[in-house]
């Protein structure tokens, strides 16, 4: 081959879009590797020091410090302990990336050297064990890694990035609280919103995506069943709220099986029941806590109405006066299903594939878990959002579970132990690539 034609080929390949893509992806990979020791230290600190919803004081201070060190302009205490970091880099689109920060009231049983041994106060002042059992410590580490990568790659993009640490996700309150506190009026309003969530069923090194509906509506329901208490040996002189609660629990199973279309997802779970103090006393009341999940608003409303109706019907059948009909309280009316904007998801999936290879990106089905991430896009006019799943399971544990059929510890389990290094590196590589591509996409249209 003659020298001039060789030069031609080299020049052509250097200036082809494919080369540029590979070049950015490999630069991001180099940064993810280089930054990992720092992110590992951050992750293990967060994992060992979880804070509960609305109590994320030290976590948010650390997030603020890390974002400042990455060159962001940072505001703290937005909607509680929310943190907002802004990095402006010329004209272009605005992208918001969100990580949630709260842990859960669970006693960790992973046996990891950096396991949480923390007992702390919840927002009602009660002592609770605490654990990052939902991987929010992974989310923060990826957010900071991505922030540092974006800062180092400033010559590769134009626009504005807004990186937020969100409090109180586990209570489905933090996103709404940050919006109410001026997330889009005090700070640049985003064109797109991105997030990721740790997956306890995908191996580390892989990511999953789910276009359109991905996570469900959620409502927490508190029911107080009243009765007329008395001696356990004279039940005929009482109205027993324990028997009434037993009827109630079995009756509400028919909401899903008999009142909801089999083609519509719906879950009614009684997660807690408390009543009575002794063998031979019929109590005055029993308290129940339920979680409801659905996708359509119609199913959500129908489930709530049916619970109220069944409560009323059972109280009438028991001969209770109206003043003693069960009290039904609905919490968190804002827990809407997460809808991943299909066009945005398509763009993000392209970036994910170019960052870590086509074989490491899987389409996954929707689940009935819930997240308040979707709330961030439910404004007027709406903002497209996309949240993808980040694999966190050690490959050998994943293989073993596939071979034996044994269930892996799910999210919210005291045994959930994500593998930090490949998970966080994959998170940083994919999220940085997605943000850079979206900003480039925006500047092309200008």
Site string for Zn ion, 80-119 (x = CB under 5 A): ----------------------------------------
66 vs 102, beta carbon nearer Zn ion: 102
CB 3 within 8 A of CB 392: no
134 belongs to an annotated ligand binding site: yes
203 by DSSP, 3-state: which? strand
Return the range that interacts with Zn ion (CB under 5 A); candidates 127-135, 201-209, 237-245, 381-389. 127-135
Burial of 444 (0-12, 13-18, 19+ CB in 10 A): exposed
CB of 103 to Zn ion, least distance (A): 9
Q: Closest Cα to residue 133, out of 198, 191, 83?
A: 198
Find out whether 8 is annotated in a ligand binding site.
no
Selected range binding Zn ion among 91-99, 128-136, 279-287, 413-421, rule: CB under 5 A: 128-136
| The pair of three-digit structure tokens given for residue 49, joined into one six-digit string | 């020091």
Q: Which stretch binds Zn ion (CB under 5 A): 108-116, 129-137, 388-396, 434-442?
A: 129-137
Concatenated DSSP letters of 9-67: HHHHHHHSHHHHHHHHHHHHHHHHHHHHHHHHHHHHHHHHS---TT--HHHHHHHHHHH
Burial of 163 (0-12, 13-18, 19+ CB in 10 A): buried
Indicate which single residue of 63, 101, 134, 207 sits in contact with Zn ion (rule: CB under 5 A). 134
Q: Is 136 assigned a ligand-binding role in the annotation?
A: yes
Query: Which residue lies nearest Zn ion, judged by its C-beta?
Result: 134
DSSP 368: S
- The string of DSSP letters for 214-233 reads EE-EEEEEEEEEE-B-EETT
Cβ closer to Zn ion: 134 or 202? 134
Of 253, 212, 217, whose CA–CA distance to 369 is shortest? 217
Q: Which stretch binds Zn ion (CB under 5 A): 62-70, 91-99, 131-139, 206-214?
A: 131-139
**Torsion on CA atoms 108, 168, 147, 83, rounded to nearest 10:** -130
According to the annotation, is 386 in a ligand binding site? no
Stretch that binds Zn ion, among 114-122, 134-142, 260-268, 329-337 (CB under 5 A): 134-142
| Element (DSSP H or E) covering residue 167 | none
CB of 135 to Zn ion, least distance (A): 6
- What's the closest the beta carbon of residue 445 comes to Zn ion, in angstroms? 34
CB 308 → Zn ion: shortest distance, Å? 28
297 is in an annotated binding site: no
Radius of gyration of the chain (CA): 25
Interaction between residue 344 and Zn ion (CB under 5 A):
no
The site string for Zn ion over 211-250 (x = CB under 5 A, - otherwise) reads ----------------------------------------
Distance CA 5, CA 35 (A): 40
Mark the segment that binds Zn ion (CB under 5 A) among 54-62, 132-140, 354-362, 382-390: 132-140
Q: Measured from the CB atom, is 140 or 355 closer to Zn ion?
A: 140
The one segment of 26-34, 76-84, 130-138, 277-285 that binds Zn ion by CB under 5 A: 130-138
Q: Are 66 and 42 in contact (CB under 8 A)?
A: yes
The number of residues that bind Zn ion (CB under 5 A) is: 1
- Which residue's CB is nearer to Zn ion, number 275 or number 420? 420
Closest to Zn ion by CB, 59 vs 302, is: 59
Measured between alpha carbons, how far is 187 from 164 in angstroms, rounded to an integer?
Answer: 11
Query: Shortest gap between Cβ of 97 and Zn ion (angstroms)?
Result: 16
First-residue to last-residue Cα distance in the chain: 42
Report the nearest approach of Zn ion to the CB of residue 197 (Å).
6
d(CA 103, CA 135) in angstroms, rounded, equals 8
Q: Toward Zn ion, which CB reaches closer, 105 or 145?
A: 105
CB of 412 to Zn ion, least distance (A): 6
Residue 173 CB, nearest approach to Zn ion (Å)? 13
Cα(179)–Cα(78) distance, integer angstroms: 9
| Distance in angstroms (rounded) separating the CA atoms of residues 109 and 305 | 39
Give the nearer residue to Zn ion in terms of CB position, either 143 or 248.
143
Residues found near Zn ion in the complex (CB under 5 A): 134
Residues at the binding site are: 134, 136, 170, 197, 412
Q: Which residues are annotated as a binding site for Mn(2+)?
A: 134, 136, 170, 197, 412
């Amino acid at each position: 081959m003659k020298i001039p034609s060789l030069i031609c080929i080299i020049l052509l390949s250097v200036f082809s879009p494919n080369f540029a893509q590979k070049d950015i992806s490999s630069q991001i990979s180099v940064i993810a590797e280089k930054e990992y020791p720092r992110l590992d230290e951050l992750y293990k600190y967060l994992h060992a020091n979880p804070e509960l919803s609305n109590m994320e004081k030290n976590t948010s201070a650390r997030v603020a410090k890390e974002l400042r060190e990455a060159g962001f302009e940072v505001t703290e205490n937005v909607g509680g302990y929310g943190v907002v970091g802004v990095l402006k880099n010329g004209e272009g689109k605005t992208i918001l990336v969100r990580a949630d920060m709260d842990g859960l009231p669970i006693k960790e049983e992973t046996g990891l050297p950096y396991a949480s041994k923390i007992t702390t106060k919840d927002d009602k002042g009660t002592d609770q064990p605490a654990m990052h059992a939902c991987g929010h410590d992974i989310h923060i580490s990826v957010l900071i890694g991505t922030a540092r990568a974006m800062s180092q790659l400033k010559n590769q993009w134009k626009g504005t990035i807004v990186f937020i640490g969100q409090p109180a996700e586990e209570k489905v309150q933090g996103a709404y609280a940050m919006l109410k506190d001026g997330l889009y009026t005090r700070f640049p309003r985003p064109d797109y919103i991105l997030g990721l969530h740790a997956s306890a069923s995908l191996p580390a090194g892989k990511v999953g995506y789910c276009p359109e509906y991905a996570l469900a509506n959620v409502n927490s329901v508190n029911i107080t069943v009243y009765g007329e208490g008395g001696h356990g040996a004279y039940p005929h002189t009482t109205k027993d709220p324990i028997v009434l609660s037993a009827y109630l629990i079995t009756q509400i199973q028919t909401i899903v099986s008999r009142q909801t279309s089999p083609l519509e997802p719906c879950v009614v779970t009684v997660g807690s029941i408390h009543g009575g103090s002794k063998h031979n006393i019929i109590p005055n009341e029993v308290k129940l806590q339920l979680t409801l999940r659905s996708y359509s608003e119609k199913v959500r409303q129908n489930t709530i109405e049916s619970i109220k109706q069944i409560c009323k019907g059972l109280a009438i059948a028991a001969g209770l006066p109206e003043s003693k009909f069960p009290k039904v309280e609905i919490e968190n009316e804002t827990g809407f299903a997460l809808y991943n904007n299909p066009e945005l998801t398509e763009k993000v999936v392209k970036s994910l594939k170019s960052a870590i290879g086509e074989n490491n990106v899987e389409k996954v089905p929707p689940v009935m878990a819930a997240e308040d991430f979707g709330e961030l896009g439910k404004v007027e006019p709406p903002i497209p959002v996309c949240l993808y799943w980040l694999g966190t399971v050690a490959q050998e544990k994943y293989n073993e579970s596939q071979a034996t059929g044994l269930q892996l510890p799910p999210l919210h389990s005291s045994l959930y132990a994500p593998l930090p290094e490949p998970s966080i590196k994959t998170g940083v590589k994919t999220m940085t690539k997605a943000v850079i591509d979206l900003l480039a996409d925006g500047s092309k249209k200008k």
